[in-house]
Amino acid sequence: MSTTLTITDRSAMSAEEIFEELKARIGDYTPEPELRMQAELAVEVNQLKAQRNAVILGHNYMEPALFHSVPDFVGDSLDLSRKAAATDKDVIVFCGVRFMAETAKILNPSRTVLLPSLEAGCSLAASITAADVRALKARFPGVPVVTYVNTYADVKAESDICCTSSNAAAVVDSLGVDTVIFLPDEYLAKNVARDTGKHIIVPTRLPTGNLHFADDVDFQMVGWNGRCEVHEQFTVGDIDLVRSQFPDVVILAHPECSPEVVDAADFSGSTNAMIRYVEQTKAPRYLLLTECAMGENVAAANPDKEMLRLCMVRCPYMNQITLQMTRDSLRHMQYEIDVPEEIRVRARRSVERMIAIG
């Protein structure tokens, strides 16, 4: 089920109207002068958006003032790639990170795709190169490569099919083969291995930089040692402490968390799946083990439930994107994301195979 949200069209709203909306959603903890400044920036963004005939896609991790004021659509990476593929606007502004903007360009190459900050990377995407994938394919010939969408285009181009956190197990199952290479998130791979009943091996990096695979003949998944620098920091100890303080809390963990953390949580799913869970749960109190900004956005949409904040780890890449950067992006048409055609065509095949699965 898709939960990408189409936001009310705010293009014609005044700063006062946006201010009132922000106040209703995040006014409990944001002082009014800050809200007024954000509302004025949002009006500028919306005017530029109309002038440029642009669409703004906002990932669930966007900071609350941006999330609640300028995107035409908000959602997880899978849903936003669908929106990017379908848009007929001239310009796509991706309020997210670089691999998401690249995916938009891969799927809709005739549009201008803008990423408001060049610093909006991702530790998972940076953990693997196209040469690494080629080396794995040489070592495990004929084994299909499933690549998490949190990778750059040249890595997707070397892959057979992509997946996101919302469809990873379905993608692996869809291949109907005994063995897959699943890249680059070690934890997501281990969580998928458990969900699909497969046994996984993950290489260790030797001091020389070379990879070493343990001699294990009984594996069905080959992983990689990439990690999300945000989700890898949550521990079972954190969960135990929170539960001892708030025994009725329901804990939700993104599948980029370690399998131990996922096991200790009550639910694990993509950012959209977590949002749906909170909407439907009867539990009075919940905690999200993911980027903290999403917790604020979910809390604003569910005022009847109490959200515990665990904001000690933040995604430094998602946090690059602000209303000001988005305004400057549209004002100066920066930073344009391009993918060489030869890579784009091969990467598109992998992304489209994934989208067809759902």
Chain positions contacting ligand 13P, by CB under 6 A: 60, 76-77, 150, 164-165, 228, 254, 256, 270-271
Tokens of residue 233, six digits:
């920091």
Stretch that binds ligand SF4, among 7-15, 27-35, 313-321, 337-345 (CB under 6 A): 313-321
Interatomic CA distance for residues 127 and 228, integer angstroms: 9
From ligand 13P, ligand SF4, none, interface partner of 270 (C-beta below 5 to 8 A by class): ligand 13P
CB 275 within 8 A of CB 288: no
Interatomic CA distance for residues 15 and 141, integer angstroms: 59
Q: What's the min distance (Å) between Cβ of 97 and ligand SF4?
A: 5
Interatomic CA distance for residues 42 and 72, integer angstroms: 12
Interatomic CA distance for residues 86 and 122, integer angstroms: 25
Q: What's the min distance (Å) between Cβ of 308 and ligand SF4?
A: 19
Interatomic CA distance for residues 215 and 336, integer angstroms: 45
Q: Which is nearer to ligand SF4, 126 or 130 (CB)?
A: 126
Q: Which is nearer to ligand 13P, 220 or 270 (CB)?
A: 270
Q: Going residue by residue from 216 to 245, which x/- string records binding to ligand SF4, judged by CB under 6 A?
A: ------------xxx---------------
Task: List C-alpha distances in Å: 46 to 27, 68, 71, 84.
Answer: 21, 12, 9, 18
- Which stretches within the chain are classed as H helix? 15-26, 32-51, 64-67, 77-86, 98-107, 130-139, 153-157, 168-175, 186-196, 236-245, 259-264, 271-280, 292-301, 323-332, 341-357
Q: What is residue 147's three-state secondary structure?
A: strand
Q: What's the min distance (Å) between Cβ of 155 and ligand SF4?
A: 14
From ligand 13P, ligand SF4, none, interface partner of 35 (C-beta below 5 to 8 A by class): none
- Can you tell me which of 124, 193, 298, 299 binds ligand SF4, judged by CB under 6 A? 124
Q: Which is nearer to ligand 13P, 198 or 231 (CB)?
A: 231
Interatomic CA distance for residues 200 and 218, integer angstroms: 9
Q: Which is nearer to ligand 13P, 87 or 271 (CB)?
A: 271
From ligand 13P, ligand SF4, none, interface partner of 165 (C-beta below 5 to 8 A by class): ligand 13P
Q: Which amino acid is at 52?
A: R
Q: Which is nearer to ligand 13P, 13 or 74 (CB)?
A: 74
Q: Which is nearer to ligand 13P, 77 or 159 (CB)?
A: 77
Q: Going residue by residue from 164 to 203, which x/- string records binding to ligand SF4, judged by CB under 6 A?
A: ----------------------------------------
- Exposure pattern of 40-67 as b/e (b: 16+ CB <10 Å)? bbbbbbbebbeebebbbbbbbbbbbbbb
Interaction site with ligand SF4 (CB under 6 A): 97, 122-124, 150, 228-230, 256, 291, 315, 317-318
